[in-house]
Amino acid sequence: MTRIGLIRSAVIVTMIAALELACRTGLIDHRIVIAPSEMASALVTLLASGSINADIERTLGIIAVVIALSVVLGFAVGVVIHALPHLREALDPFFATYYAVPIFIFYPVLIAIFGLSPMPIVLIGVATAIVAMIIATLNGLDRVPRVLVKVARVHRLGRVSTALRLQLPATAPYLFTGIKLSVSYAFIAVIAAEFILSPAGLGRDISDAYTDFENRRMYALILFLLIVATAVNAGLHALDMRFAERRSGGGP
């Protein structure tokens, strides 16, 4: 492990240990926060019981659908907008202020239209995550060096070949940033939407546990989501670093 990695791990372990100590010594009331070891033990028990399997499947399934739709549609919309400068000029102010609008205000409208199905959650999730992917695609395409297009012409590549063999790899770092942001937004939007008004899912579970004062269950579910979100992001970060090393000179 690198020195930075050791420091990072030490900070996390210290914080967990401090929380454990504070909970065990009564510095923090156990009715508010339970010790991390108790959270872990509650999570193991919960997973072993299989009682949240359906919710895990539903929530992670919706998140996967939201990520896939946001990334694929966001990329496609980004490519189209990039090809139409006037449309882009018209839409730029919307993109610049998009995240200033709380998308969740439309949730009741979506429920009125689609009912308490996964659809409103998927739509809220896509609406939250897609713009990050569109902006990342536009940024990436803006930064494709013009000389690469000339190289493509020298090699007599067609438009599709140029896009696939040169422009797509050249924009890859920006697209990857878009994917990472879309993943984060998808987790946030789906869990929050389930929390508010969904009949099922991990977000709903956390909300119910909170309402029923089931601290062990609530913290176990929070810990589970933390582990999943961190693992996904760590995986994406590792991939990103591997590609970045090649481009910045520290590679194999």
Partner 1 sequence: MARDVHAQLAGVTRVYPGGGEHPPVHALGPVDLDLHKGEFFAVVGPSGCGKSTLLEVLAGLQRPTAGTVTFEGKAVSGEVADGIGVVFQEDASFPWLTVWDNAAFGLRRSGVAESKLRRRVDDALAFMGLKDFARAYPSQLSGGMRQRVCIARTLVLEPRLILLDEPFGALDAQTRLLMGDEVLRLWRQTGATVLLITHALDEAAMLADRIGAMSARPGCFIEIIETGWPNGRDSTIVAEPAFGEITGRLWERLRGESLKALGHSSLAQSAPPSALAAE
| Contacting positions for partner 1 (CB under 8 A) | 145, 147-148, 150-151, 153-157, 161, 166, 169-170, 172, 243, 246-249, 251-252
Residue 104 is classified by DSSP as G
By the 8 A CB rule, do 153 and 216 touch?
no
Q: How far is the CB of 245 from partner 1 (least distance, A)?
A: 9
Q: How far is the CB of 86 from partner 1 (least distance, A)?
A: 14
Of 26 and 249, CB closest to partner 1:
249
Of 116 and 151, CB closest to partner 1:
151
How many H helices and E strands in the chain?
A: 11, 0
Q: How far is the CB of 211 from partner 1 (least distance, A)?
A: 51
Of 138 and 144, CB closest to partner 1:
144
For residue 29, is it left (φ>0), alpha (ψ between -120 and 50) or beta? beta
Of 169 and 199, CB closest to partner 1:
169
Of 54 and 239, CB closest to partner 1:
239
Token digits for 228? 């999943």
How far, in Å, CA of 229 to CA of 224, rounded?
Answer: 9
Q: How far is the CB of 162 from partner 1 (least distance, A)?
A: 12
DSSP 3-state helix, strand, coil percentages of the chain (rounded to 5)? Answer: 85, 0, 15
Smallest CA-to-CA distance from 216 within 55, 51, 31 is with 31
Q: How far is the CB of 251 from partner 1 (least distance, A)?
A: 5
Q: Quote the crossing angle between the two packed helices 215-248 and 202-211, to the nearest 10°.
A: 140
DSSP reduced 3-state for 52: coil
Of 176 and 195, CB closest to partner 1:
176
Of 26 and 250, CB closest to partner 1:
250
Q: How far is the CB of 151 from partner 1 (least distance, A)?
A: 5
- Which spans in 158-214 are helix H? 159-162, 168-197, 202-211
Q: How far is the CB of 76 from partner 1 (least distance, A)?
A: 22
Query: CA geometry: angle at 176 spanning 98 and 227, to 5°?
Result: 90
How far, in Å, CA of 158 to CA of 171, rounded?
Answer: 18
